[in-house]
Homo-oligomer: A and B are copies of this chain.
Amino acid sequence: MKDMTTGLRERKRLATKHSIQEKALDLFDERGFAAVTIEEIAEAAEVSPSSVYRYFGTKEQLIVADDFADLSQEALDHILDPHDPLGTARRIVADYESTPAGVNAAEGAGKSPWRRVHYFFQEPTVRLAVYASLDEASSRIAASLLSRQGMSEAKARVAAHAFVFGYFAALEQWHVDGGKRPIVDYVDDGMAVLREIWTNPDR
């Protein structure tokens, strides 16, 4: 068995995936999410429609990709502080803002890492895809909360959902506000309401 992470095949794979997503975002920016078909994206990226589906599964995933899902369980455990949801949220923002890999980096200037986020709030189907992604993140957080805190399964589930979807709500406030102030400000403000949720198992 060989390396599997540096081979030509793997490099091509990543390059292709990156290229597809980039071309797709360009088209979306030009003509709007709904008005672009998978076939057109495939043509622009010089691959077959089959490949687009192979790489992304759904049209929405071209935007949502793996903002949360690609966090490994270990990385999650590292970022997660069961006593401080607000700090955890800040860390997630910071983490995302400095992400060196993915579609956001690797391209020149001018394109904010938050470019894709706009679609979260503009396209209802994309929003739902994000919710599906938040859902997955939540169950991993709940598992972590359950094993590290003494809370019941019900409490762990509720706390995780409250945190993850609350975080999204804070993001939305940023978006509604036109993105004037930095995101972390809105997270600080909004998530303060959850401050003590994770702390004490029985209150």
Interface residues of A (CB under 8 A from B): 124, 127-128, 131-132, 135, 138, 142, 151-155, 157-170, 172-173, 176, 186, 189-197, 202-203
The answer to whether A166 touches B172 (Cβ under 8 A) is no
The answer to whether B161 touches A169 (Cβ under 8 A) is yes
Q: Which of B138, B157, B159, B190 contacts A155 (CB 8 A)?
A: B190
Measured in the bound complex, the distance between the Cα atoms of B192 and A191 in whole Å is 18
Residues in B with CB closer than 8 Å to A160 are: 169
The answer to whether A158 touches B128 (Cβ under 8 A) is no
SS class, residues of chain A in contact with chain B: helix
Measured in the bound complex, the distance between the Cα atoms of B166 and A142 in whole Å is 12
Residues in B with CB closer than 8 Å to A167 are: 158
The answer to whether A152 touches B202 (Cβ under 8 A) is no
Smallest distance from the beta carbon of A120 to chain B beta carbons, Å? 12
Smallest distance from the beta carbon of A177 to chain B beta carbons, Å? 8
Q: Which of B127, B158, B169, B172 contacts A194 (CB 8 A)?
A: B158
Measured in the bound complex, the distance between the Cα atoms of B161 and A202 in whole Å is 22
